[in-house]
Amino acid sequence: MANANLLRAARIRCPVPSIAAAFFQRPRVSQYHGGQTPTQEYRCGIDAEPLYRYRPGGYHPVTVGDSLSDGRYKILHKLGWGSYSTTWAAKDQLHDRYVALKITVAEPKRSDEMEILEKLADTPRNHPGSCYVNQMLDQLTVIGPNGSHDCLVLELVGPNVSDVIGSYCRDDRLPSRAARSISKQVLQGLDYLASKGIGHGDLHTRNIALEIPGLHSLSERDFIARLGEPEMGLVIRQDGKPLSSKVPTHIVRPSSFRDKDVQSLLASPSTKIIDFGEAFFNLDAPNTLHTPLPMYGVQDVL
C-alpha cells in the first residue's frame, strides 16, 4: 500500500499492479507519428526512422564516424529512434568513456526534459534509487542543415526490457526472478524521482533499460563487436536525383545484442529508467499523458 500511495502522490500513472504485469508480458506499443505521412521522396532498405522526417525542423542527419563538439564525441553506432529524436552510441574522447547521444528534432516541442535532467544532474545522488535513473552527463547544441538541435549526452545503457522480452524470453515473459528484481529497482527509481518532485510521464518497458557491465573498459573494436557491426543501407531519391544535405547518405539499423550477453544480464539485472521526453514537475503536471494504454492505472482508464 505504501508503494501505491507513493505512485499516486508522484502522479505517475502506472501503479504497482500495472508495472508488475508489464514486466511479465511484452506490451504491444506502436510508434506514434503526428500528422499524415507525405509522399515518400526517398527510399532505403533499412527499416528505421521515417526518411520524410529529414527536413527543416526534423531529424539531424548523422553518419557512423561523425564527430560532434569539436571532435569530442565520435559516433560509433545507432541505439534507436523515436518521433522526436535519434539516439547514438558514441565515444567521449575527452573522458575515455562510451555515452549515448540523444539528438532531438529541430522543430519546437514543449518538453521539460532538459530542465528535469539538469536538476537531476545537479543534485547529490545519495538516494538509494538514484542509481536506477539514467543521468545526463553533458548537453550541447548541434547546428545542421535542418536547424538547431538539442543534444543530450546520457549514460549509456543496454537493451530495453520490451526488446529483451520479445527477442530473448520464452513465451514473451521475463524469468520471475528477473521480473521481481527489475520491478524493485524501478520502484526505487520512481521513489527517487518523487523525492525530487518529478513524474516520468511515460513509464513502460521500452523506457526501462538493462545496464551492461564492463563496457567502458572495451576498445572501440570490441565495443562495436558487442553491439554488432553497424548495418547500413544506402538512401536513394525516388527520382534518381542527388541527395539533399538534409538527408543522411545511409540509414543505420539500431544495434542488437548477442543472446548470451542478454541471458547474462537477466541473471543479475541492473536497470535504468530512461527517456524523459514526457517527464514533468509534479507542480505543473499535464492533463494527459502519452503512456501506452496497457500501462495506465484503472483510475485513469475510467
Confidence band of 10 (pLDDT split at 50, 70, 90): very low
41-89 pLDDT, tens per residue?
999 999 899 999 999 999 999 999 999 999 999 999 999 998 899 999 9
Give the pLDDT mean for 17-40. 45
38-50 pLDDT, tens per residue?
668 999 999 899 9
Amino acid at position 230, single letter? P
- pTM (predicted TM-score): 0.82
Confidence band of 111 (pLDDT split at 50, 70, 90): confident
By the 10 Å C-beta count (0-12 exposed, 13-18 middle, 19+ buried), 24 is classed as middle
**78 assigned ligand-binding residue:** no
Distance CA 13, CA 32 (A): 19
Q: What is the mean pLDDT of the chain?
A: 85
- The 3-state DSSP class for residue 24 equals helix
202-229 pLDDT, tens per residue?
999 999 999 988 889 999 999 999 888 9
Q: How many residues does the chain have?
A: 302
- Name 64's Cβ contacts closer than 8 Å, sequence gap at least 6: 75, 76, 77, 78, 230, 232, 250, 252
Residue 15 has pLDDT above 60, yes or no: no
The residues assigned a catalytic role are 202
Amino acid at position 216, single letter? H
Structural domains of the chain ordered from first start: 2-295 (3.30.200.20)
